[in-house]
Structure 1
């Protein structure tokens, strides 16, 4: 998986019609894992429902290599028609 392929897919995802919330969280968590690595922020407070969902999704990818996350991101995006 080249960095250019990953970036091209990420660019296409930004312009597509929003998928389901579940698919959005999956794409978000894989993107963050691919670009940043393991979750490195504290969990948001209980009142930040959206932030907590995003944090939980990303934190659930802990231990996944950045290369694996890139591949899974591209695969997920393609399954959504990107």
Structure 2
């Protein structure tokens, strides 16, 4: 199975985890997924100062700027596999 297939399988598996990950792990999953599918963040930061979720997601993804899509996909697969065992 190549990396892209592993990544897609992990994305599906992430929706069926027996236990919901904590917020920090959810942000990590989100940012790795976005980096692995879209690459570097290219939008503007959220303008609503009270939209804490959007701000956290934006900042988490922004931290991965410059990381190769393949590296993000591999980290995502590893993280989901770790969560499946937990």
TM-score range (shorter-chain normalised) is over 0.9
Question: Which among 29, 53, 77 is matched to residue 27 of structure 1?
Answer: 29
1:9 matches 2:10: yes
Cα shift readout 1:15-41 (whole Å, capped 9, x = no counterpart) = 223200000000000000000000011
Taking structure 1 as the reference length, the TM-score comes to 0.93
Q: Residue 67 of structure 2 aligns with which residue?
A: 64
TM-superposed deviation, 1:2: 2.1
Say which one has the larger Rg: 2
Please provide the CA RMSD for this pair.
1.2
Distance 1:67 1:29 in 2: 13
* Superposition misfits of 4+ residues, deviation over 6 angstroms: none
What is the number of equivalent residue pairs in this alignment?
Answer: 82
Distance 1:66 1:41 in 2: 17
Distance 1:15 1:75 in 2: 16
